[in-house]
Structure 1
Amino acid sequence: MRSVDKKVTQELFRTVAGRFATGIAIVTTHGDGVDHAMTVNAFTSVSLDPLLVLICVEKVARFHSAVIAAGEWGVSVLGEDGEEASRAFATRGRILEGQLDRWAHRRGTLGLALFDSAIATLECRTTAVHDGGDHSIIIGEVVSAGLPREAEPLIYHKAHYRHLAPGAPPGTPPDPGP
């Protein structure tokens, strides 16, 4: 099916953007004695010199004000077994106090929570914040990085969690999921 010249609505844009498969991470920060965490798929590397990455955070999310105020944030890239954590930290309005208690984590160099089950971790200091419509584009300089364990990534594609086929050679299509 080929479609052209459609009016770009939010629904169409969401569908089109959903065709881009992404990894999933949980971003953490700390403020006022409380850990804050949020699931993101808008995370990417930006620069090797200096080492920069970015996240996009919706302006109305309570995580937004916390991460802007803190100026430091951690990234835990989820492995294929991370769907439950991803769903938990994507839930709006959850109780903040003790929200990390059921998830094994350690404190990184900056004292930020980093998930033990992550397949990659970073800690960053904010270097710039840019307007991105209803989101802020937050750029951070990487101050620590780690590879806690080896596992396949959790992937999000067409509004569903996906997993790479076990032992699949490069170029094999992802599991179609539900």
Structure 2
Amino acid sequence: MAARERRPNPRVGPGRTVRSEPPVDPALYRQVVGRFATGVAVVTTVAGGADHAMTVNAFTSVSLDPLLVLFCVEKIARFHEFVLDSGLWAVSVLTEEMRDASNWFATRGRLLDGQLDDWPHTRGPVTGAPVFTAAVAALECRTHAVHDGGDHSIVVGEVLDLDIPDPQGKPLIFYDGTYRSLA
């Protein structure tokens, strides 16, 4: 934490409700949480006989016993319905060279037909979901739980299979609103 002096907040403590007065500025919120460096991944699923994909940076490990991970998906995104209906999905952690893929799968309203054509991928052996062959890591999952997260759903998945498609790849990093690379 910064070295500035903080006085105790009389609103915080046992039996007291924490309120933000004045309300937190959403633009400042985005700036502050954007200072947390994250990896970039694409989550994929197969629903209705078609492939579906979405870029995420809200992805993390949750538990070792059982093996659980989570990602967050905006409730108004088309992908939300597809991944919840399917219940099976894959995560491909992107390499530095996959910025275009990250941007493409983050584009709202893009055509769904043939959306994976420009990125080499295979079918996950357990879920059948697309897995990028140039990913630094890949996981196949079954939905374990879905939690409300405001305007997003928090999708927790049981890990069914793991792979390291490109062991020499360097991960794509997102920090302060832009892509970065490891030094």
TM-score, normalised via structure 2 length: 0.86
**Aligned residue for 1:59?**
75
Q: Which runs of 4+ in 1 moved over 6 A?
A: 1-6
Among 87, 91, 115, the alignment partner of 1:99 is 115
Partner of 1:114: 131
Aligned-pair CA distance for 1:6: 7.4
Corresponding residue of 2:44: 28
| Partner in structure 2 of residue 71 of structure 1 | 87
The unaligned stretches of length 5 or more in structure 2 are: 7-20
The 8 Å contact of residues 43 and 89 in structure 2, kept in 1 or not, is answered as yes
SS in 1 for 2:97: coil
- Would you say the 8 A contact 2:134–2:169 is kept in 1? no
Cross-structure match for 2:162? 145
Report the Cα offset of residue 33 of structure 1. Answer: 1.2
Distance in 1 of aligned mates of 2:102 and 2:3: 33
Pair member with larger Rg: 2
Paired with 1:98 and 1:148, the residues of 2 have a C-alpha distance of: 22
Aligned residues: 165
- Distance in 2, matches of 1:156 and 1:7, equals 27
Cα offset for 1:36? 0.3
Of 3, 6, 16, the match for 2:32: 16
1:101-120 Cα distance to aligned partner (Å, 9 max, x none) = 11100001211100011000
3-state SS, counterpart of residue 26 of structure 1:
strand
- For 1:127, the equivalent position in structure 2 comes to 144
Aligned equivalents of 1:113 and 1:91: distance in 2?
18
Q: Does 1:157 align with 2:175?
A: yes
Q: Within 1, Cα distance between the matches of 2:76 and 2:3?
A: 36
What fraction of aligned residue pairs are identical, expressed as a percent?
A: 59
Structure 1 residues 2 and 35, CA, compared in 2 at 3 Å: closer, same or farther?
farther
Q: Which residues of structure 1 form unaligned runs of 5+? A: 166-178
